[in-house]
Chain A
Amino acid sequence: MIASMGSTGPPNVEEPVFIRDHLVCDGAQVTRPSIDPYREPVDTQIYLHGVGIRLSQPLILSVHPDYPSVVRRALVRAAYNLGLLAYIRGTNLAAGEEVYGGRILLDDGSRSHAGLGVVRYYGHNGPIMLKTPSTIGLEWAANLSWKNIVGVIVDEDHAGSDTPIEVATSHVDRMLRRISSDGQPMRDRITLIASSRSIRGADDIFKLVALGADAVALGDAALIAADCIGKTPSEDIVYERIENLAIALQKEVKLLAGAAGVSSIYTSLVGNRELLRAIGLDADTRARLGVKLAGVG
């Protein structure tokens, strides 16, 4: 986690791969203080609508069908123990997983609503989440009945994704704010989640939250941390690695939030595009993200 000497990251040294590699975060200096997460509190909790679940940080652990079962088990268990969610796709629950059902998002492909995939919180029958591909073509939202819908997941791995996750997330966030119900923006009743297998770490999470997501589903980083391709580490070791990864991610998110002078992510970071700046992105993309050019105050 600690490094020395100058950065070798994108966009100034390494070639940027994703839009978020072009985004930089603010550091609080002089006009407001930064916050020391080692000694002072930085709240990372996120509250999910409709189900009374609290996440300890804006992180969801994705489980894909191609993951080895030892990794899957570790992710489900770690999600439970650390107060996150395990987002299981493509299959139903495996044996032994119901005990962790309180923290599982299930996408077994069995249901749909208004032409979109449905993801449900295991154990909750009423409320559902809609899954949309990563796109800005959101005609379905116009005449939707939002009854029972407590969340939207923007999933870059879903068929029909034609826009980078950063742009789609920002777009859906704003769209949900514009739609209102009883005089209150819909966004205040809906949890927004961004998901992509390309999510690598805390910096990606931080930036997507700033662009409008309440929580971000981690990509294959967990698989890499587990390090069991071609080897067979024990159940406990795989679990330990994944648990440590999640704890480390929380520490890093706190560092970024504290550096920006934010002490409460849920209230102050979500959708706070003002904390980001863009380097090397065209004006159109910046407008879609709602992020200013670097150098503009």
Chain B
Amino acid sequence: MSWLEKPRIVQEYLPIPPANNVEFWNHERIEHIRMLARFGRPAWVWDRAKHTSRRILDRIRFRAELESPTIEPREVDDVDTSTSLAYRQIEMSSPLYLGDMSFGALSGIPNIALAKTADLTGILTGTGEGGLYEEVRRYRRITVQWASARFGVDLDVLNTGMGVVIKIGQGAKPGIGGHLPGVKVTKPISETRRIPVGLDAISPAPHHDIYSIEDLGQRIMAIKEATGKPVFVKVGVTNYIAYIASGIARMGADGIIMDGQGAGTGAAPEVVRDNVGLPIEIAVPVVDKALRREGYRDGFSVIAAGRVSSAEDTAKLLALGADCVSIGTAALIGMGCIMVHKCHLGFCPAVITNKIEENPARILSLDTATNWTVNLVRGWTAELKAIMDVLGIRHLDSLVSRRNLLVADGLPSDMAEIIGVG
């Protein structure tokens, strides 16, 4: 690269544009995440943006909040957010999983930042469907993904990292495979994924060797035979999520990652994104109950994803029955995303999901992105600790599946009953 073509390094947030349309990730939420990412300290205790949205999750509240609605954020020392996943094979300092976003969906530096953050903070990140980027490989706390197209995955890749995620589906488009638009299939991607340049990389809708529950069991066993590592299965939340989760647990997986409707994506057909799938807050309690009833819950990890926007969301999902949450969009916002919703075109103004070029004009600063993400994790965890403190819970495992801490607030009673809150 000649000095004339040296890329400009981006180290600052873009101003948040004014909202034209209804948006979940509104000004307030973006500002809050940026605050955490800048300073790594708690900014809120109770989520101050939840009154701006209509999710079912926003109509579920902690009883403790109704009793003490205004609490100033503070660092809390004597609360332990550590936990373990996959039948206690993976230790986590905090119940945060930086969600599976591929090399290709993201433009490289963000992928490295996520992996580095996981190592530095003792959590876990998923490397998504694009194979393993060289720079990411050297970090330890990563999972690799086995998806329908098997892009860039071989036995060596499967043996890297702390676990394998079999991706069946994702919340933004259950029933549809991964999609990297042609404009983003540049030479580096073409090499990693071994597909022609410029043509959309559309992964098949199903795994063509997994058409039934016993087929999934077969694939889980095959991967375990080959690698000996913990295997997670990632699915979007659909009508029969309870059966699917039971089946996954029975078939020998170590955990499930459930991605609810509303989750982010690099590219999805709009009609599917807006109409298929259920929210994560319905899936978590229904699955938790089903697994407990069948004796499969203990040690099996339930990881919840899909519009997780704050520590309070995290605490609620854990109380509803999850062991851990996965954040995708929130992490990208921490790196500067301003929700332009045009990732599929490859011209991300925040240089996060832009197409990967050999001579880019701008790149995100790795150090800055990593700092932001590390701070985000720290600040988020600190807020979680503050919430746990108010709830009187000292250890994270005691928060899991404590639906009695929650109460419905403006939720129809039959929905409240399904979810299991009073």
For window 210-267 of B, CB contacts with A under 8 Å fall at 210-213, 216, 233, 235-236, 238-244, 247-248, 261-267
A219 to chain B, nearest CB (A): 16
Confirm or deny: B135 has a beta carbon within 8 angstroms of a beta carbon on chain A.
no
A29-B268 Cα distance, complex, nearest whole Å: 17
A202-B274 Cα distance, complex, nearest whole Å: 11
Confirm or deny: A261 has a beta carbon within 8 angstroms of a beta carbon on chain B.
yes
A258-B276 Cα distance, complex, nearest whole Å: 11
Confirm or deny: A237 has a beta carbon within 8 angstroms of a beta carbon on chain B.
no
Confirm or deny: B71 has a beta carbon within 8 angstroms of a beta carbon on chain A.
no
A8-B341 Cα distance, complex, nearest whole Å: 10
Partner of A297, one of B53, B54, B240: B240
- Report whether A295 and B275 are in contact in the complex, using a CB–CB cutoff of 8 Å: no
Which chain B residues border A275 with CB–CB below 8 Å?
239
Interface segment, one of B21-29, B108-116, B151-159, B359-367: B21-29
- Report whether A293 and B415 are in contact in the complex, using a CB–CB cutoff of 8 Å: yes
Which chain A residues border B414 with CB–CB below 8 Å?
283, 293
- Report whether B343 and A4 are in contact in the complex, using a CB–CB cutoff of 8 Å: yes
Q: 1/0 per residue A9-49: CB within 8 Å of B?
A: 10111110000000011111111111110110000000000
Given A3-B341, A5-B265, A13-B24, are A33 and B172 neighbors across the interface (CB < 8 Å)?
Answer: no
- Report whether B269 and A255 are in contact in the complex, using a CB–CB cutoff of 8 Å: yes
A106 to chain B, nearest CB (A): 31
Confirm or deny: A296 has a beta carbon within 8 angstroms of a beta carbon on chain B.
yes
- Report whether A24 and B264 are in contact in the complex, using a CB–CB cutoff of 8 Å: no
The residue on B at minimum CB distance from A204 is B275
Which chain B residues border A260 with CB–CB below 8 Å?
175, 276
Which chain B residues border A280 with CB–CB below 8 Å?
412, 415
- Report whether A5 and B240 are in contact in the complex, using a CB–CB cutoff of 8 Å: no
- Report whether B277 and A31 are in contact in the complex, using a CB–CB cutoff of 8 Å: no
Q: 1/0 per residue A177-218: CB within 8 Å of B?
A: 000000000000000000000000111001100000000000
Confirm or deny: A7 has a beta carbon within 8 angstroms of a beta carbon on chain B.
yes
Which chain A residues border B56 with CB–CB below 8 Å?
12, 279
A5-B268 Cα distance, complex, nearest whole Å: 8
Given A27-B174, A277-B239, are A8 and B419 neighbors across the interface (CB < 8 Å)?
Answer: no
- Report whether B53 and A2 are in contact in the complex, using a CB–CB cutoff of 8 Å: no
A5-B273 Cα distance, complex, nearest whole Å: 9
- Report whether B22 and A277 are in contact in the complex, using a CB–CB cutoff of 8 Å: no
A274-B211 Cα distance, complex, nearest whole Å: 20
Which chain A residues border B268 with CB–CB below 8 Å?
2-4
A32-B216 Cα distance, complex, nearest whole Å: 11
Which chain A residues border B23 with CB–CB below 8 Å?
8, 13
A36-B206 Cα distance, complex, nearest whole Å: 8
Confirm or deny: A94 has a beta carbon within 8 angstroms of a beta carbon on chain B.
no
Which chain A residues border B261 with CB–CB below 8 Å?
7, 12, 24
Confirm or deny: A114 has a beta carbon within 8 angstroms of a beta carbon on chain B.
no
Which chain A residues border B418 with CB–CB below 8 Å?
293-296
The residue on A at minimum CB distance from B21 is A8
A232-B207 Cα distance, complex, nearest whole Å: 49
Partner of B269, one of A2, A27, A34, A279: A2
Which chain A residues border B205 with CB–CB below 8 Å?
33-36, 258-259
Q: How many residues of B contact A (CB 8 A)?
A: 78
Partner of B341, one of A4, A11, A296: A4
Which chain B residues border A25 with CB–CB below 8 Å?
275-277
A262 to chain B, nearest CB (A): 10
- Report whether A294 and B204 are in contact in the complex, using a CB–CB cutoff of 8 Å: no
- Report whether B169 and A13 are in contact in the complex, using a CB–CB cutoff of 8 Å: no
Confirm or deny: B270 has a beta carbon within 8 angstroms of a beta carbon on chain A.
yes
A38-B201 Cα distance, complex, nearest whole Å: 12
Confirm or deny: A1 has a beta carbon within 8 angstroms of a beta carbon on chain B.
yes
Which chain B residues border A8 with CB–CB below 8 Å?
21-24, 274
For window 142-156 of B, CB contacts with A under 8 Å fall at none
The residue on B at minimum CB distance from A253 is B271
A188 to chain B, nearest CB (A): 27
Which chain B residues border A259 with CB–CB below 8 Å?
173-176, 205, 272, 276
Which chain A residues border B54 with CB–CB below 8 Å?
11-13, 15
Which chain A residues border B342 with CB–CB below 8 Å?
4
The residue on A at minimum CB distance from B203 is A36
A243-B181 Cα distance, complex, nearest whole Å: 25
Given A2-B268, A29-B238, A255-B269, are A13 and B262 neighbors across the interface (CB < 8 Å)?
Answer: yes
Confirm or deny: A282 has a beta carbon within 8 angstroms of a beta carbon on chain B.
yes
Which chain B residues border A203 with CB–CB below 8 Å?
271, 274-275
- Report whether B175 and A6 are in contact in the complex, using a CB–CB cutoff of 8 Å: no
Which chain A residues border B265 with CB–CB below 8 Å?
4-6
Which chain B residues border A261 with CB–CB below 8 Å?
175
- Report whether B176 and A2 are in contact in the complex, using a CB–CB cutoff of 8 Å: no
Confirm or deny: B202 has a beta carbon within 8 angstroms of a beta carbon on chain A.
yes
Which chain B residues border A11 with CB–CB below 8 Å?
54
A201-B179 Cα distance, complex, nearest whole Å: 23
Given A5-B264, A12-B54, A12-B55, are A33 and B206 neighbors across the interface (CB < 8 Å)?
Answer: yes
Given A27-B238, A29-B236, A280-B412, are A256 and B25 neighbors across the interface (CB < 8 Å)?
Answer: no
- Report whether B211 and A33 are in contact in the complex, using a CB–CB cutoff of 8 Å: yes
A231-B204 Cα distance, complex, nearest whole Å: 43
Given A8-B24, A30-B168, are A1 and B269 neighbors across the interface (CB < 8 Å)?
Answer: yes
Q: List 12 A-B contacts (CB under 8 A).
A: A2-B344, A4-B265, A4-B267, A5-B339, A6-B172, A7-B261, A24-B276, A27-B175, A252-B269, A279-B278, A280-B415, A295-B418
Please provide the 4 A-B residue pairs with the shortest distance between their CB atoms, ordered closest to farther: A27-B174, A259-B175, A27-B175, A33-B206
Interface of A with B (CB < 8 Å)?
1-9, 11-15, 24-36, 38-39, 201-203, 206-207, 252, 255-256, 258-261, 274-275, 277, 279-280, 282-283, 293-297
New contact pairs (5) apart from A26-B276, A36-B206, A259-B173, CB-CB < 8 Å: A4-B343, A13-B23, A24-B277, A27-B174, A28-B174
Interface of B with A (CB < 8 Å)?
21-25, 53-56, 168-169, 172-177, 179, 181, 202, 204-208, 210-213, 216, 233, 235-236, 238-244, 247-248, 261-279, 282-283, 286, 306-307, 329, 339, 341-344, 353, 412, 414-415, 418-419
